[in-house]
Structure formats: structure tokens, C-alpha cells
Amino acid sequence: MARVIPSTFSLYTCSTPSFSPRNPTKTLYHQNLTHRTPLLVCNASKKPSFVDQILDYIEGGPKLRKWYGAPDLLPKDGSLPEEEDVPDVEETRDAVLVTDGDSEIAQMVILSLIVKRTRVKALVKNRRAALEAFGTYVESLAGDANNMAFLKKALKGVRAVVCPTEGFLSKVGNLQGVQHVVLLSQLSVYKGADGIQALITSNAKKLAEEDESTLMASGIPYTIISAGSLENTPGGSQGFSFQEDCAAKGSLSKEDAAFICVEALSLVPETGFVVEVVNGEEKVSDWKQKFTELMEKGKGQ
């Protein structure tokens, strides 16, 4: 089910790059790759997918980067390059900032953004690991989001923020200049937990509640993806359901959840939009149209 704070919406397109370590099962976002950019591969009996080639590029390290013509990312002495002090001037807001960039679900979001050729910035804990993994496709930033100077730097040039995990929105201050926030929420799942599971998820539930309330009061246009229990199943192979209360009872592939978060960036509500989604029977070929339908349906309720 979708809920809309009475609104109209505007459309804008994404454009950028980003990555995640390869899953041994190689369950990758095949539903994203209707438009693939071929790369030259030598001595290959079977041409790998675009995403596989991206992951090979990342995981291959400096030697493979030279093969593809990319520069070395780290100095020969192994030291990290200094983060540049960006002049305090207004720049085009065309980037998407992904929070908790070290997490599995965030890296899935980043990969989906890369495939869409979007400019990506990511908040990470380990900048060295991010540089080695993401290369030049992502601007990786490590620091304390509670620090206003760091937050201002992180948000520079950012038009939208994707929060794939809980805890970021409730601890930061003003997201000045941000035009859209997409939050992947597990609050319905946490509320439905009982027994030992309720104890295990109690802190995550509190953070999720604070994130949602903070976002709704921020005045920034937002989309909350209220997802069912996130599962380590292949994305793109199942349909979806958007029925009321489905998030509390159903489940959703992590890959599908990441893909939906990225697709949500194409529609900016005037105020706020909440959509419940789990894997189900309905096939969605045009997510922009689907979100439009759900928004209109939510207005009439």
C-alpha cells in the first residue's frame, strides 16, 4: 500500500557510478541491465555480463585497472591520498549520497547507481577499503556525520540522499540543499517481531522510528520504502506486492530492495510518499509509472 502526504511530483533523471564485493553465488542485478555497455574481453569463450565485468575490474586491483586504462588509486607507498578541501562555492547538485556505504545493502544501491551512470558519493567507515573497492567511480568520505563541517562537505553537490539502513537521519542535523531523501525502512518488520526477535531488534526499531519521524518533520521531499523482511535471495526473478500491511508479513530480496530505492529517485514527491513492498506476483516493467500510480492511489485514500 502507498501513502502520500497530498502532493504533486516532479521528475528528474539519475546519472552515475559505484560498487560492492562480489557475492560467490553471483546473484547480480540482472533486471537493471537492459542497456548494457560492452567492454572488450580477450580470450573469453562466453561474454560476461556488464556487471560481472565491472566487478572484475574492481576486484582485479591496480594491475587490471592499468589494463582498462585507469590510473593508480593509491600511492606506491600505500598511503591514502589527502581529501581535497573543496572551495566553499555552490556547485551543480547532481550527485546521490549513499549512507552507511560499508553495508551490504548500501553497496547494492551503489552498484545500481553505477549502472545508471549516476555520480555517487558514499559515507564509509574505511576509506582505504572503499578506494580499493570502488575506485574512481565513487567519492568515498569517512568522518563523523554529526560534525557540521564534515556533513557540509559530504552534502556538497548532492541532490538526493539514499539511506539503506537505519540510524543516519536521526543523528544528523540539517540536510541543507538536499532535494529528495529515499529511506529504506524495516520498521513494519520490527513492529511485527515478538519474543527473542523483538529483543534483538529493539534498538533497530527505535532508530527506524526516529529516522522516519525526523524525515517527516524535515520539510524535505521524501520517499519511504517500507519493505518486508530483507532476504539474501536473487533479485529480478520475482514479482512484487504493494498491498496494505504487506511489509509486516512478507519478504523482499535485498537486491530488489536496492533496485527499488534507486528507481524511487526518479520521482520526487512535493512532500512525502510511503510505499509498502514485498516480493509477490505483480511484474513491474516501468517503475516510474508504478510509483505514479501508487502516489495517485495514496492521494485518494
Whether this model's pTM surpasses 0.85: no
21-45 pLDDT, tens digit per residue, is 434 333 333 333 333 333 333 344 4
Domains of the chain, each with CATH number or no CATH: 2-27+48-73+93-299 (3.40.50.720)
Task: Report the interhelical angle of 104-115 vs 50-68 (nearest 10°).
Answer: 80
pLDDT, residue 301, reads: 60
How far, in Å, CA of 17 to CA of 137, rounded?
5
Task: Using CA atoms of 115, 117, 123, 128 in order, give the dihedral in degrees to the nearest 10.
Answer: 80
Q: What percent of the chain has pLDDT over 70?
A: 69
Q: What is the DSSP secondary structure assignment for residue 282, as one 8-state letter?
A: B
Q: Which amino acid is at 39?
A: L
**116, pLDDT greater than 70:** yes
What pLDDT does residue 141 have? 94
Q: How large is the average pLDDT for residues 202-222?
A: 95
What does the pLDDT look like over 224-246, one tens digit per residue?
999 999 999 988 889 999 999 99
pLDDT at 3: 57
Q: For residue 74, what pLDDT is reported?
A: 53
What does pLDDT average to over the chain?
A: 78
The model's pLDDT over 146-198, given as tens digits with 9 standing for 90+, comes to 898 999 999 999 999 999 999 999 988 789 899 999 999 999 999 998 999 88
> What does the pLDDT look like over 65-79, one tens digit per residue?
443 444 455 555 555
SS (H, E, C) 1-37: CEEEECCCEEECCCCCCCCCCCCCCCCCCHHHCCCCC
Alpha carbon distance 286, 293 (integer Å) = 11
C-alpha triplet 137, 140, 142: angle, nearest 5°? 175
**pLDDT at res. 49:** 46
